[in-house]
Amino acid sequence: MREVLTYRLADDTKVTLRPARPDDAAAIIAVVRSSSEERSYVLMEIYGKDAATQRAYIEGLDRARNLFLVATVDGAVIGLLALLEADLCGGAEPGLAAGVHIVRDWRGHGIGSVMLRYALRWAKEKGCHRVEADIFTTNKRSLHLFRKAGFHEEPCRARTLQAGARQISEVVLIKGLR
C-alpha cells in the first residue's frame, strides 16, 4: 500500500492523504476544534491542547501499530483520521479505535470515505481483526460514514456522556476485518 495517496474531487481539487508529521500539530488541533462544541469538549482531552503537546504525541506514536492520517488541499490540513491501538470490548479484544474529523467546508465531498477506505486497508495489512468507532448519536454524518463503510452498531455498548450542560448518547460501531 502506498503511504501517500493523491486523488481529485469531482471539481478537480487535488486532495493528498499522508501520515501526519509533527509540523502538522497546530493544523490538527484546528481541525478538531472545527468540530461542534460537544465533540471538541471531549476530543481535546485526546488531542493536545497546544501544538507542542500534539507535536510530542505525533513524534512518539508507534507508526507500525497506529495510523494518524491527514488530508491536505494545497498543503493545508483539512481533515484527519486516527486509527489507534485500543483494547476493545471492555479489554477483551485488541483492535483499533477510529475517528475522522473534516473541516466543515470540506465535508460532503467524500474525503472521509476515502480516508476510511485507506485506513481499513492499512489495518487489514497490519493484521488487525477489528476496528471500532465511538460516535455521538447527534453526529449523523459520522454515523452515516461508518455505516456506509460496513460498520454496525454494538447496542450493548451504547452510553450517555455529559458534554457541557448536555447529555449526549454515544454508540459503538464495529467492523471485523477477517
Q: Which residues pair with 177 in a beta bridge?
A: none
Taken in order of first residue, the domains within the chain and their CATH numbers are: 5-129 (3.40.630.30)
Answer yes or no: are the C-beta atoms of 16 and 5 closer than 8 Å: yes
| Cα 98 to Cα 132, 152, 166, distances in angstroms | 6, 14, 24
- 39-48, 64-73, 140-149, 156-165: segment of lowest average pLDDT: 39-48
pLDDT tens for each residue of 6-42: 999 999 999 999 999 999 999 999 998 886 554 544 4
The three cell numbers locating residue 164 = 457541557
3-class DSSP state for residue 39?
A: helix
Q: In the block, which residue shows the cell 450517555?
A: 160
Q: What is the pLDDT of residue 114?
A: 97
- Distance of CA 123 to CAs 17, 29, 55, 72, 146, Å? 16, 24, 23, 21, 15
pLDDT tens digits, one per residue of 66-110: 999 999 999 999 999 999 987 655 555 668 999 999 999 999 999
